[in-house]
Structure 1
Amino acid sequence: MDSLLTSAVAGLSAGGAYAILGVCVVFTYRLVAVVNFTATALGAVGAFVMVMLTELGYPMVPAVLTGLVAGTAASVAVGFVTTIWFSGSNQTVKAAVTAALLVCIIALGLRLTGGQHPRAFPDLVGGAGLQLAGVTITAASLVSIGLAIVLTIAVEQFLGRTRTGLQLRALSERPMAAELLGIPVRRLAIAVWALSGAMTTIALILVAPLRSPDFGSLSLLVVPAFAAALVGSFNSFRAALIGGIAIGVIEGLASGFVGLAQYRAAVPFLVILTVLMWSQRGARWDEAR
């Protein structure tokens, strides 16, 4: 029992990062109506800029800040493409564009970063955080979960209580009407992409030391990000927060069993399948009657 509890707690750090990623996916979908397959690949750009600078001997703080700028800039570039070139397209087309860009970014990223050779990402938040029921919760876990909670609350308050938040909601619900009313639609959409890129970069920098951190592996963390967002039906920030943490904990539990450890990467896929099946339960039961 103690070993299972330890394994579950060990998954909190990844769970916090998944929660941040899931909230960012919901944020982008709700405000600019794009299912963003490139989310983690763009964050991986920033994370790898950071680690390559540290390998060259640059101090940690400037390297992290430069990585954040790179991840944000990459996200703004993709946002510019979807906002300007595909502004009149439907959600399916925009999703297809980001899926195609994901493949391109992964191929280019693997080429520029040395293929699937893992990089030694520094653990920015090392050490023990606190003891709970005899189990040590790492500082990285506390920071990642804390950031996820702060991001969720901040986004909810921002959208519900500020003028800019109301404009963003108008942008997502009635983009043409918002533009006619003089709301700076494109500028706000690019700002959404920028914030998403910055937060995704932070999440990947935190989770990279726990993974096999090659560019492709980090980019494909879009799967747990989408699983967390799907728990919230791509609408609820809080549900995405809970879903991301839960996925990390389940992965941690799986790693505690010898026979299941090698299948822990399948957990997000199982969550996606379960949520989709549950969402279709009414239709299937009606057919069965």
Structure 2
Amino acid sequence: MNLLTSAVAGLTAGGAYALLGVCAIFTYRLVAVVNFTGAAIGASGAFVLVVLTEAGFPLWPAVLAGLVVGTLVGMAVGFIMTTWFAEANASTKAAVTVALLVGMIAIGLRLIGGQHPRPFPELFPGSAFRLAGVEVTIASVLTIGLAVAFTLLADRFLNHTRTGLHLRALSERPMAAELIGVRVKFLSILVWAVTGTFTTFALMIIAPQRSPNFLALSLLAVPALAAALIGLFRSFWLALAGGILIGVIEGMTSTFEGLSQYRSAVPFLVILAVLLWSQREARWDEAR
């Protein structure tokens, strides 16, 4: 029963990992950027919520303000990427987002007073239902539901709308897309804005169950990218399943006394396993 309880407890984190992973694929497929700043963008908005509630603001206006800030920070990162690095190669873009992540963590830690946890309000406390005798929280249901909804919307948007087709053209041939009249910069920044909103809300939900300091939330980029790698930065649905699975495995790991202290290593092991698996054919060819 303890193992099942821990697995169910991991669903909240798994839903957030899934959403962050799907957002990473969304960004990659539409603007060709492996984004390391996704969780830090969400953390920026989430900590606005904390600061405002500590100052006595009502909860839901503070949530709205946090979502607005997360969206604006996402747009600011998008503006930087599209203004100065639109024609850069994929490696350079990824390196820029790593540099931006480091800068955002430094600024965040400075503004909120170091790595000390801050009390996050629970937006959706309580239990939704029981599964095999285990309470499934409302937060778990919401994070997974949000991840599924974003996956459905992203998949439909990308494959069945004119704007989605324009954005796919933007990702594959940005210069050609601009020449045929696609509003390249506007659409790129819009992609960053949308992912900023969703990641901010996901982190607001998951933060009370984590170590809620700016560094810890920003480093959720690691499980997010692990989920995206499971989807090979192509499949939203594989990333969704992968993110939930990582959360469940993390939860189950906490049951074992000798392994619980290494639960944060689970995403790194997933990344390593996926990279090794993706290189298997090349290795076999060399062996022959």
Match of 2:170 in 1: 171
1:66 alignment counterpart: 65
Q: Which amino acid aligns with 1:220?
A: L
Aligned residue for 1:159? 158
1:174 deviates by 1.8
Matches for 1:28-67 after TM superposition, within 5 Å: 28-67=27-66
1:274-289 equivalences in 2 (<5 Å): 274-289=273-288
Deviation at 1:287, TM superposition (A): 2.2
Look up the SS of the partner of 2:130 in the other structure: strand
CA deviation after TM superposition for structure 1 residue 173, in Å: 1.7
- Secondary structure of the residue that 2:105 maps to in structure 1? helix
- State the secondary structure of the residue aligned to 2:128: strand
Structure 1 vs Structure 2: percent identity of aligned residues? 66
1:235 is matched with 234
Give the Å deviation of 1:171. Answer: 1.0
Matched to 1:116, the amino acid is: Q
Alignment of 1:1-289 (within 5 A): 2-289=1-288
Aligned amino acid, residue 72 of structure 1: T
Instruction: State TM-score, norm by structure 2.
Output: 0.98
Structure 2 SS opposite 1:11: helix
Q: CA deviation at 1:181?
A: 0.7
Aligned residues: 288
Give a deviation string over 1:136-173, Cα, whole Å, max 9, x none. Answer: 11111101000100110011111111111111111112
Distance 2:270 2:131 in 1: 28
Measured in 2, the distance between the counterparts of 1:266 and 1:157 equals: 34
- Structure 2 distance, partners of 1:189, 1:157, is 18
User: Which structure 2 segments of 5+ residues have no match?
Assistant: none
Q: CA–CA distance in 1 between the matches of 2:263 and 2:202? A: 19
Distance 1:274 1:125 in 2: 35
CA distances 1:42-66 after superposition (whole Å, capped 9, x unpaired): 1110000011100001001110000
CA distance in 1, matches of 2:36, 2:148: 23
Post-superposition offset of 1:88: 1.5
C-alpha root-mean-square deviation of aligned residues, in Å? 0.8
Structure 2 counterpart of 1:198, one-letter code: T
In structure 1, C-alpha distance between the alignment counterparts of 2:157 and 2:86, rounded to whole Å? 24
Take 2:199 and 2:13, find their aligned partners in 1: how far apart are those partners? 13
Deviation at 1:288, TM superposition (A): 2.4
Whole-angstrom distance in 1 between the partners of 2:122 and 2:28: 31
Tell me the secondary structure at the aligned position of residue 6 of structure 2. Answer: helix
Unmatched 5+ residue regions in structure 1? none
- Which moves more between the two structures, 185-194 or 131-140? 131-140
Alpha-carbon displacement from aligned partner over 1:86-121 (angstroms, at most 9, x marks no partner): 111111111111111111110110011010110000
Specify the SS of the correspondent of 1:35.
coil
In structure 2, C-alpha distance between the alignment counterparts of 1:28 and 1:228, rounded to whole Å: 14
Q: Give 1:94's aligned amino acid.
A: K
Amino acid at match of 2:66: G
- Measured in 2, the distance between the counterparts of 1:263 and 1:210 equals 17
Distance 1:48 1:214 in 2: 9
Amino acid at match of 1:115: G
Matches of 1:76 and 1:228, distance apart in 2:
23
3-state DSSP class of the match of 2:123? coil
